[in-house]
A = this chain, B = another copy of it.
Amino acid sequence: LLLDDELQQQEDHVVQLFQDTSLSVVFIKDIELAKVSKSFSKGVVLDEDEDAKVEGSGSGFIWDKFGHIVTNYHVVSKLATDTSGLQRCKVFLVDAKGNSFYREGKIIGFDPAYDLAVLKVDVDGYQVKPANLGQSNNLRVGQSCFAIGNPYGYENTLTTGVVSGLGREIPSPNGGAIRGAIQTDAAINAGNLTLIDVHSVGTSTSSNYQSSCKTETKFCKRTWTSTMPVISIFISTDGYIILGKYKAQVRSTWQIHFVLPKRGKKIYSSENNLGNSGGPLIDSYGHVIGVNTATFTKKGTGMSSGVNFAIPIDTVVRTVPYLIVYGTPYSNRF
């Protein structure tokens, strides 16, 4: 079977696109120390040892040559809301020549309303390659797109598809809605999103807590006020669910369900791999058109193949400068 010149060129284009853009993609590891370590407090990230626990991981991309990193808020929410002083964040990157290194990531700003956060890493001595930014206001359903993420450390992952829909509304970590989201059939593996059938909330999985609630709604409200670590399920009135570990504020338009671990037990920390969540969605020119954010699933479907979402880059471009300058969204800058 021969391969036509044009077909070969087309494959080479995707290969090249991956090689060009993956230098800007980083891997992010959330770490919780058992006790405050001296070396950590000096900004040097240690390898995990017996005293450090990986809490979660995800992807991000290099915003500028100063070492600002853009990712999802939910990838670094523990660090962002840390009061214990034990949360750390390790960022694995490559420089423009392909040399890999890692640094501690300091939280610069975050906006749960758009599920965005900015980290900064010390890139002294390295020349890093910021991602090329595109526009999302002129996207067209049907155009090709490419999701890049770094679920494992130094090795990026590519998935391909088309823009499936535009102007979608997806739930944000603060219980609001992110408008204008891009839908794609390029697989986004948001590893932390556990699919739990809604039925099981009312029956077996939640059995540990069933005794304390009468109706399903009460069940949710009660567990919500609990201070235990939870895996939360956000269910919109439109029937979407998203699951994660971040604490969300409750809006009346979302129903919220929990699946709680047994009392006194930690949730498996190794579950929190966020896959390529936080990584860039890229067009055929190699420009970032969105931030891969979540794989949702219709309430009750138990699957989500082909329904993936990204925060549009125009929203990111409007939000990130304020996060860098004020550490907070524009609306909160006073």
Contacts and interface: CB of A to CB of B under 8 A. Distances in A.
Given A11-B144, A268-B299, A270-B239, A185 B187 contact: yes
Interface in A144-194: 144, 151-152, 155-168, 183, 185-194
A319 interface: no
A7 B4 contact: no
A203 interface: yes
Interface string A286-299: 10000000010011
Contacts of A301: 189-195, 271, 273, 275
A20 interface: yes
Interface stretch (A84-92, A123-131, A135-143, A322-330): A135-143
B155 A167 contact: yes
Nearest to A202: B262
A4 B15 contact: no
Contact of A3 (B270, B285, B299): B285
Quickly give the copy total for this chain.
Answer: 3
A284 interface: yes
On chain A, which size bracket covers the interface? 35 or more
A307 interface: yes
Given A160-B185, A200-B205, A268-B300, 14 more contacts: A6-B9, A11-B142, A19-B142, A155-B166, A156-B165, A158-B163, A189-B307, A191-B298, A193-B301, A194-B199, A195-B303, A203-B204, A237-B270, A305-B306
Interface of A: 1-4, 6-11, 13-20, 22, 140-144, 151-152, 155-168, 183, 185-200, 202-205, 207-208, 235, 237-239, 259, 261-262, 268, 270-273, 275, 284-286, 295, 298-307
